[in-house]
Structure 1
Amino acid sequence: MVRCCVLILCCLMVSSCSGLKNIQDLTYIVAIGMDYDEDREEYITYIQGLNFANVAKQEGGKPVESVPIFIASARGETLNLAISNLYKTSEPPLFFGHTLTLVLTDKLAEQKFNEVIEEIGRNRSLRPTLRVIVTQGNMEETLNTKALFNYPAIYTVLFKKSESELSQDELKPVLLMDFLRDFYEPMGTAKIPIVRIDKSSWQADEPFPVLYFDGFAAFQQQEHRGNLSFDDAFLTDWLHEKQMTMDHKVEIDGELIAAVELGSPKMKVQYEKNTATPMFSIELSVQGDLLEKIKDIPLEDLEKKIEDDMKNKLLTTYQTGLERKLDLLNVGDSWYRKHPILFRKLTESKEFYLDSSSLTNVKVDVTLVHFNSYKYNQD
């Protein structure tokens, strides 16, 4: 009898999880936005919250009514003080364990980026897999933008999971841990995607705004060096990332000849020996598919024109980097690892390690492998 009583008491003690809340009893913060008020010297923090009460009450299926996006904001002399001001006005209580995205304004990225990124990196409540994004628009408007068909904001590019989900001609999302790895490297460029609101492409009863990535905020040697246009940003992603393709218009004297899709780029960097700074040549091989043939042109001439176009793109992007003291091709990263003694001497100089003479030669080889049922004249 005594044994039975003890067994029953033990079961009662372990039958519930003391202190744990139900899924619908918390406000899950999925995104944090940050801005800086230069006049008042205060940080402005925004949080985007979800609550699963409506999910818990349903057996399945999509809610009939549109679920509103909840945004809260507060100010403080530090980031922690700003967020702490939100706790007393938030019920159900806030939970940051599933925060997915950090959105920074371009003003903060230019003025207070190092302080913010160090504070975020030290915060144990936030995961290193946090996505980092810069917005040049209004923070509240950015966080309040839904996905198409009134799907929740969690389906926008702010929460893109990985490069495996990339659509055609879309920039890669960046995780905090990957960005910090590049940010603290002595050579090479670290990049954060810039999000914008497109208010003209989609319409329902009225224009329906959507979010998209449109360039990179670029950093070199822990310093913000400006923003890259979509074309320069996409080319740098395309050169270094797998499973990315690029649509390209082939024009001769302003006349459209063909449209091709280029993928599988392989960039080989050859460094010259015994140089105080990186001196290098580039060999780029690319495979492509013919999407549309507008005018007849021999295959050899078409591939040669694409090669010239890609060479010009690469040189233009490289020159853009030089103007802003950015190593957009990331050639310095491999060089300093192979030349530690030369690198130590180079760090004594405050000059940027690349110039117009650093890139000695560019060779591009393009091979079209599929012709989309076109009977192509190869003569």
Structure 2
Amino acid sequence: MSARIPIRGLYVGSLLLLLLSLSGCWDYKNVQDNNYVTAIGIDFQNDKYIVYTQSLDFSNVAKQEGVKPKDKVPVWLGRGEGVTLDAAINNIYNSSQLPIVWEHTTAIVFHERVLSQNMKSMMDSMLRYHEIRYSPWVFGTHVSIKELFAVNNTFNLAPINSLLHNPMDMYEQQAYIKPLSLREMLIKLVEPGATLLLPSLATNSKQWFKDIKPNEQYEVDGIFVIDDNSYKGWQSKADSLGLRWINSSSARTALAIGRDNNKHQVLLSMETSKWDIHVRTQGAVLSYTIKANITGSIDEMLAPLPESEIEELAEDKVKAEIKHTFKVGLDHNADLYSLHQYVYRQQVTHWKRQGNGRNITLSPGDLDNIQVKVKLVHAGMSKLKQK
């Protein structure tokens, strides 16, 4: 006669089996038990790569939610060096007291000295770290990266809330040089005919103050130009204004115009709605046409100009900026508008005949046709005169 197993015993046994199948948090770590790298800086000196890391004290940052911090949020910097980029990154591990997590990196900064190296090879080495995503913002700089990463943010906020880690907020408010992601950078490095324009990150201590003491802040002051994996130099923001009309963004940008070289009679707020670049061939000669349709509104009017004249003056100003940026780029032997890329896309037979683009050159007269149409959609509080 077989022994009966009590029903209660079956319940208990089944429960124990279920508990054994549940996963547990055996390797769980508190947020403060890891070193979270939020920014990476790369330099090159004395034939060695130097890597800087910026890490935040997340245990301190977490306490700030809903409350403005009274004290400066601490920033921790790491430094490693080596004959290769990989060796420099591994050198950082030597004295780290916590496991380093790279998945929260939101910014990568390249010093000008490293831009003369083989960027394609260097990026291949970096992306072998599977934790580094394609989403971080990328910048170039003239400034010491160590000093750049230690900049104090306004209101004692964490650096993660700054232009370094979140440039789109500032760009959407005032668009000049478009932020660039790591994914976009890699595309520009390998795409035929494309020119990489790396935003130049600097510091500005003349415009913001804590009480009466200058407070250094981040600023994008120009671009670093890399064409065909070759560094072509730096160009100021003032010389790069034409680029703002040749991008897919509809962010706000200011344009000051006036009669008789008076630049400040009317201040416009512009948005690029549509643009296009077309390539024409006449035998072995290439020419390029840029078309831009731009909408705008009036922010300030210091002289009573009619609407049609404002639009005409704005069109002339935009054309002048596009031409100026193109010519300054030629001084650096650089194709700032990536015109060669449009040759590859629209005239691929010509591209192949010219050594896959290697024999195609640019001259000031090649950009012979710039068509700009400006339409005012709002006059603010101003009443416009009609001709």
- TM-score when normalising by structure 2: 0.88
Equivalent residue runs for 1:1-379 within 5 Å: 1=9, 4-5=12-13, 7-8=15-16, 10-11=18-19, 14-38=22-46, 41-54=47-60, 61-160=67-166, 162=168, 166-205=172-211, 206-255=213-262, 256-347=264-355, 350-379=358-387
Number of residue pairs aligned between Structure 1 and Structure 2 = 377
Distance 1:282 1:81, change over 3 A: closer
RMSD, aligned CA: 2.5
CA distance in structure 2 between the partners assigned to 1:352 and 1:130 by the alignment: 33
CA distance in structure 2 between the partners assigned to 1:55 and 1:189 by the alignment: 39
CA distance in structure 2 between the partners assigned to 1:310 and 1:252 by the alignment: 15
Distance 1:158 1:184, change over 3 A: same
3-state SS of paired residue (1:279): strand
Q: State which structure, 1 or 2, has the greater radius of gyration over its C-alpha atoms.
A: 2
Give the drift of 1:48. Answer: 0.8
CA distance in structure 2 between the partners assigned to 1:133 and 1:156 by the alignment: 14
Give the drift of 1:51. Answer: 3.3
Distance 1:227 1:80, change over 3 A: same
Q: Is the 8 A contact 1:215 1:234 kept in 2?
A: no
Percentage identity across aligned positions? Answer: 26
Alignment gaps of 5+ in structure 2: 1-8
Distance 1:42 1:268, change over 3 A: closer
Distance 1:98 1:65, change over 3 A: same
Show CA shifts across 1:335-359 (max 9, x none): 2122222111112674443222322
Distance 1:174 1:163, change over 3 A: farther
Give the drift of 1:185. Answer: 1.5
- TM-score when normalising by structure 1: 0.90
Alignment gaps of 5+ in structure 1: none
Show CA shifts across 1:220-261 (max 9, x none): 112111122213444314421222222111133343321112
Distance 1:76 1:290, change over 3 A: same
Give the drift of 1:143. Answer: 0.2
3-state SS of paired residue (1:243): coil
Show CA shifts across 1:24-47 (max 9, x none): 211101111111112xx2111111
Q: Is the 8 A contact 1:276 1:346 kept in 2?
A: no
CA distance in structure 1 between the partners assigned to 2:20 and 2:77 by the alignment: 41
Show CA shifts across 1:70-90 (max 9, x none): 011122222222222222322
Distance 1:285 1:52, change over 3 A: closer
Distance 1:360 1:63, change over 3 A: closer
CA distance in structure 1 between the partners assigned to 2:368 and 2:128 by the alignment: 42
Show CA shifts across 1:98-148 (max 9, x none): 211111111111245343222123332211112211111111110011321
Q: Is the 8 A contact 1:49 1:71 kept in 2?
A: yes
Q: Is the 8 A contact 1:238 1:244 kept in 2?
A: no
CA distance in structure 1 between the partners assigned to 2:171 and 2:329 by the alignment: 28
3-state SS of paired residue (1:252): coil
CA distance in structure 2 between the partners assigned to 1:97 and 1:309 by the alignment: 44
